[in-house]
Amino acid sequence: MLLPLLMMIALQPSPVDDLASEGERLGRYSTLFAVCAPYYTVDLTVGQSLADDFERRSADAGWTADQRMSAYDRGREIERAEIGIVMDAESVTPRQARRHLRQMLPRLQSRCQDLAREVPGAISDVDAGDQRLDTAVRDIR
């Protein structure tokens, strides 16, 4: 009787795991707020509100600023990889850079649309942002 109860408890995610996942998700969101802003109308106060709430709850759970930053950084790295953002492009030729942008911008558009869906109020007028991104893709020669 005790064994099944212990197994159920062991299989439940701990609040720390939930906070780590949320911190990574917020890191991803912070990247999206930044990279969507040139094309979409983003409301940074929405993102700041999410971050402030997470900071309060994680501090209440005993997290340090370093733990929060580590979770955010993991999320940022994941998001940059998913979109295809290259941070060090010294050896990339202009032709390769244009091809990379043509491939990356549609992924960025999809992720900005996801941000608008997942975080109400984060992006307003998604259609106008989509049009600006479509224009940017066409303008890459």
Amino acid, res. 24 = E
Local structure of residue 113 (DSSP, 8 states): H
Look-up: residue for tokens 């998604």? Answer: 126
pTM value? Answer: 0.83
Residue 54's Cβ-side half-sphere holds a number of Cα atoms within 13 Å equal to 25
The pLDDT of residue 97: 86
How high is the pLDDT of residue 6? 43
Per-residue pLDDT for the chain (141 aa), expressed as one digit of tens each?
554 444 444 444 445 589 999 999 999 999 999 999 999 999 999 999 999 999 999 999 999 999 999 999 999 999 999 999 877 778 888 898 889 888 999 999 999 999 999 999 999 999 999 999 999 989 987
Tokens standing for residue 71: 């979770």
